[in-house]
Amino acid sequence: MAEFALRSAIERDAEAILDLWDSAIAWLVGRGQPEQWGTEPASARAQTRETVWRWVRGSGVTVAERDGRTVGVSVIMPSRPRYVPAIERSETYLLFLMSSRGDAGQGIGSLLVRQAAADARSAGSEVLRVDCWAGAPSLIAWYIRQGFVASDTYAVADGWRGQVFEMTL
């Protein structure tokens, strides 16, 4: 079995990222968990497509590949999203993290988290933060196993609740 390779995203990665996202949405819906991202494919939403294109045209996007196939992606940014409570320390925010459901359990997410932490350290950040849907206990446990500590929670206008995590660097 080939190892995973990490690289910075380029524009041609946008469709593969959307395909991964569509597969994850279908998987979540199949598990009865549409609260994470809804039921509509990411690729069918114009705003989401534009967001992904903006990501791959910028910096901070890492793609995980195996045998030339995209199996994971992460997006980091130098500050928190507006909906997440602020902190006093310098941070890098892991805005997006996803791995192929067909390759689940093979360490792709862990590899991407380690890379995000290394990139955050290189940028001089004191903390790497990330959030997820607060209604996903297995995902919360996964982030804790990666070395994150639960810190804040938040709610958005539609009642969706998020759990924020911090990793001191």
pLDDT over 70, % of the chain:
99
Residue 35 has pLDDT above 90, yes or no: no
Q: What is the mean pLDDT of residues 24-51?
A: 93
118/112 Cα distance (integer angstroms): 10
Q: Report the candidate in 104, 158, 167, 94 with the shortest Cα–Cα distance to residue 132.
A: 94
Q: What is the mean pLDDT of residues 94-115?
A: 94
Residue 6 has pLDDT above 70, yes or no: yes
Q: What is the mean pLDDT of residues 141-145?
A: 97
The model's pTM is 0.93
- 68 bridge partner residues: none
pLDDT over 90, % of the chain:
83
Burial class (CB in 10 A: 0-12, 13-18, 19+), 138: exposed
- Residue pointed to by tokens 């982030």: 143
CA angle, 96 then 101 then 104, to 5°: 95
- CATH of the domain spanning 5-168: 3.40.630.30
Task: For the chain, give the mean pLDDT.
Answer: 94
Q: Check: CB of residue 61 under 8 Å from CB of residue 74.
A: yes
Please report, for the chain, the start and end positions of each structural domain, with discontinuous segments joined by +: 5-168
